[in-house]
Amino acid sequence: MPQQQLLHFLQSTGSISPAQAEEIAPHFHFTTLQPQEFLLRAGQISHDYLLLTAGLVRAFAHDTDGRDITTGFFGQGQVALEVSSFFSRQPSQENMQALTACAGWRLPHSQMNALFHTRNEFREFGRAVLVRGFAALKARMLSTITQPAAVRYEQLVRTRPEVVQHAPLKHIASYLGITNSSLSRIRKGPGH
């Protein structure tokens, strides 16, 4: 089990020292997901904070017409989490499903709460991770408004090659907010 990745993640914000990371790490439990296995289904409450060490997870919801819309991809070194449900303890509107075989470190909600209340450094770590996630979400939202689809696709290819390699094109298209045929045209364009 690659515990080194967990220790590195815990120290990534600068709030947790190597010694503190060694004390916190045993609260996480190693877990695996098979391809197509659900981490969370819409209507359920999110109970797990999952640091992925391998694999790719897709988050998705259904629009008012029942279409499957990809809302996010989570890969190695990222936290697969439906933040709203996890922290508010409300049923999720999203699904989270493994696209590939996945492995990672799971922290149940109850353990996270205990760590937040007993360890100031973990509380600071959690805040920093949430701020980083919020900033990434805001950047993605703005790029959807301000950048053409071709630019968004190129950025995805450049920054998230594991998504382009492992996710079906229909999921990538819905994530980018475009049709499958538009994505096909973009992929056939210059440089592809």
Residue 22 structural domain: 3-146
Residue 170 lies in a domain: no
| CA-based nearest residue to 162, from 104, 105, 102 | 102
The CATH number of residue 82's host domain is 2.60.120.10
Coil vs helix vs strand at 75? coil
Mean pLDDT of 30-34: 97
Q: Average pLDDT in the 171-187 region?
A: 91
Tens digit of each residue's pLDDT (9 = 90 or more) over 34-89: 999 999 999 999 999 999 999 999 999 999 999 999 999 999 999 999 999 999 99
Q: What is the H or E stretch that residue 1 is in?
A: none
Q: 189: pLDDT confidence band, cut at 50, 70 and 90?
A: confident
Q: In 78-154, at which residue ranges do the beta strands (DSSP E only) sit? A: 79-80, 95-98, 102-108
In a domain, 49, yes or no: yes
Residue 134 forms part of a structural domain: yes
Task: Flag whether 107 is in a domain.
Answer: yes
Question: How many domains are there within the chain?
Answer: 1
To the nearest whole number, what is the mean pLDDT of the chain?
93
